[in-house]
Amino acid sequence: MGILNNLINNIKDNFTMAEFNINGRMTVSSLRKQFKDAFGATLRVYKGAKFAPENATLASIRSGENVKGGELTCKGNLQVGNFEAKMKDIFGITVKVANSDNTKLMPGNMTIAAAGREAVETDNLTDEQLQLYFWNALQDQLIAKGYDIEKKDFTADVADYAKSTRYKRYGVTFDIYKTKDRKNKAVTFSIIMKERYFFGVRYKGEAVTGPALASALTGIDPLVDVSELDNKTLAAYAYASPRNELNFKTMKSEGFGKLKNPTARAAFMGGIANEIDALIKKMVKSFKDKGL
């Protein structure tokens, strides 16, 4: 028992003593990652009423005229309320400190280190059961949004994935757009599981891309990378935002805190479906605007 208590105290001490410097050149993604790595708690960063873009610098999202600027040394013994106030005062941005699985905000009189140790609710679902839940819930959410998906049972795929050491791919594909050319080709959207799930876009059929499709996909969203025209697999691909990322090989992504929490997982999956829906809507709008 003494050894266990010493281990727990050492972990507490590490979070309490941890610190890092924050400056306006940092990106939102870098700030959130360093905060998570140092203290175990989750940092929510806002631009107005919405979450700030992950690739934005802190300086680019500030608001207000009386921003001091400079640097802030973030320490684990700093109280949550004081830290949030300092971020507003020095950088002109709104942040909120949440517990490790990002399911509830922490009180202002709690230290940042204590916020990272706040107990979270979990259940006993296995890694395979969580992965199967992900697919079932995601398909249900997208079908409810009106996408023409023939729901698949991924039980065998998940079992095979768990046994594989080569990241066997599997997923679901559905049409999102009919082109205006004489062949009336469809553009498809795929959600594909590898180490982590990602998205793929292509023409339906043998010719996966072309100048018109590549042009319509270029610049529509920072998440989207357009493939070269000689790519024989995808016209473009994208990964989920860091808040929604799930790496089912390491099981260490931030999102797993919510997926493992029985009171938070449904809302978390709704957020993933909303992100996919918003991405598809941007694509379809671009396709229409470009006359694809």
45 shares its domain with 189: no
Q: What is the pLDDT of residue 48?
A: 86
Same domain? For 113 and 181 the reply is no
Q: What is the pTM of this model?
A: 0.76
| Same domain, yes or no: 135 and 101 | no
Q: What is the mean pLDDT of residues 140-146?
A: 95
Query: What tokens appear for 159 in the block?
Result: 């079992």
Closest C-alpha to 291, from 138, 177, 176, 141 = 177
CB neighbourhood size of 166 (10 A)? 5
Considering the domain architecture, whether residues 82 and 147 belong to the same structural domain is answered as no
Of the listed ranges 11-15, 24-28, 195-199, 217-221, the least confidently predicted one is: 11-15
Q: Is residue 188 part of a domain?
A: yes
- Whether residues 170 and 284 share a domain: the answer is yes
pLDDT of residue 9: 44
How sure is the predictor about 117, in pLDDT bands with cuts at 50, 70 and 90? confident
| Residue 1 resides in a domain | no
Which domain covers residue 104, as residue numbers?
6-117
Model confidence over 33-52: pLDDT tens digits? 999 889 989 999 999 888 89
pLDDT of residue 5: 46
Cβ atoms of 83 and 19 within 8 Å: the answer is no
pLDDT score recorded for residue 49: 82
**DSSP characters over the chain:** -HHHHHHHHHHHHHHHH-EEEEETTSBHHHHHHHHHHHHS-EEEEEETTEEPPTTSBTGGG---S----SEEEEETTSBHHHHHHHHHHHH--EEEEE-TTSSSBPPTTSBHHHHHH---------HHHHHHHHHHHHHHHHHHTT--------HHHHHHHHH-SS---EEEEEEEEE-SSTT-PEEEEEEEESSBEEEEEEESSS----HHHHHHHTTS-TTEEEPPTT-SS-SEEEE--GGG--BTTT--STTHHHHT-TTTHHHHHHHHHHHHHHHHHHHHHHHHHTT-
Q: Which of 53, 283, 62, 85 is nearest to 187 (CA)?
A: 283
134 and 226 in one domain?
yes
Query: Is residue 163 pLDDT above 90, yes or no?
Result: no
Query: Rounded to whole angstroms, how far apart are CA atoms 54 and 242?
Result: 8
Q: How far apart are CA 163 and CA 106, in angstroms?
A: 39
42 lies in the same domain as 16: yes
Supply 140's token pair: 């249900």
Is residue 79 in some structural domain? yes
103 and 60 share one domain: yes
**Which whole-number Å values give the CA distances from 203 to 85, 198, 212, 231, in the listed order?**
50, 17, 11, 12
The CB density around residue 289, as the number of other CB atoms within 10 Å, is 9
pLDDT tens-place string over residues 252-267 = 888 898 899 888 899 9
Residue 182 pLDDT: 61
The answer to whether residues 148 and 60 belong to one domain is no
Segment 235-253 shows an average pLDDT of 92
Domain count, the chain: 2
Q: How confident is the model at residue 138 (pLDDT cuts 50, 70, 90)?
A: very high
Q: Are residues 134 and 258 in the same domain?
A: yes
